[in-house]
A = this chain, B = another copy of it.
Amino acid sequence: MDDRGMLIVLSGPSGVGKGTVLKAFLKAHPQFRSSISATTRAPREGERNGVNYYFYSQEEFYQLVSEGGMLEYAIYNGNCYGTPKRFVEEALQRGEDVILEIEVKGAAQVRAACPDACFIFIIPPDFHQLAERLRGRGTEDAEAIVKRLAAAKDELLRASQYDYIIVNDRVEAAADRLYTVIEAARYASKNQKHLIDEVLKDA
């Protein structure tokens, strides 16, 4: 390893519980940190700028996008969400490993920009459970739910583009698997090219 940290992308279909798995993981392994997203939506009660989110105005957000300053971004329900490049890059340069918990489309943007990151996909034990969870949010009509289920299916079909697939059958078990694959990702050959160069320099 050189001293640079490792970028870890955690994704999966909407409703699979990636946030819950990451929370359990970070509690067990506080040496890791997750990236803080930027959003244009208004802070909710108790949310603090730079802790839960970076709260940006639309103008600030669009400015950053146009400068190429967002690693990935998307619009949900009229609000923008994204990962500012600068904070991630600074942490990696300090040698910290950074975890991005993001949606499948955002992960595809990161893959294009940083193919050597470690990409982890979380899946439900079965589709039924995911459907129940998407229905359970209860704020949407039948048509919206059908759309979300179709989107989830489409997202599951992209799993093979990831390095690892973890089943979220139990949160603690999934968090343990997450630790196993992150530790191994340090030895992935795509992260070790500098070692080969190093060995071959005297050959």
A interface residue numbers (CB < 8 A to B): 121, 123-128, 130, 149, 152-153, 156-157, 159-167, 177, 180-181, 183-185, 187-190, 192-193, 195-196, 198-203
Contacts and interface: CB of A to CB of B under 8 A. Distances in A.
Contact of A184 (B121, B185, B196, B200): B185
A202 B122 CA distance: 18
Contacts of A166: 187
Contacts of A192: 159, 165
A74 to B, nearest CB: 23
A155 to B, nearest CB: 11
A130 B184 CA distance: 25
Q: Is the interface of A mostly helix, strand, loop or mixed?
A: helix
B126 A196 contact: no
A198 B165 contact: no
A184 B193 contact: no
B165 A196 contact: yes
A126 B165 contact: no
B167 A195 contact: yes
Contacts of A159: 189, 192, 196
A123 B164 CA distance: 24
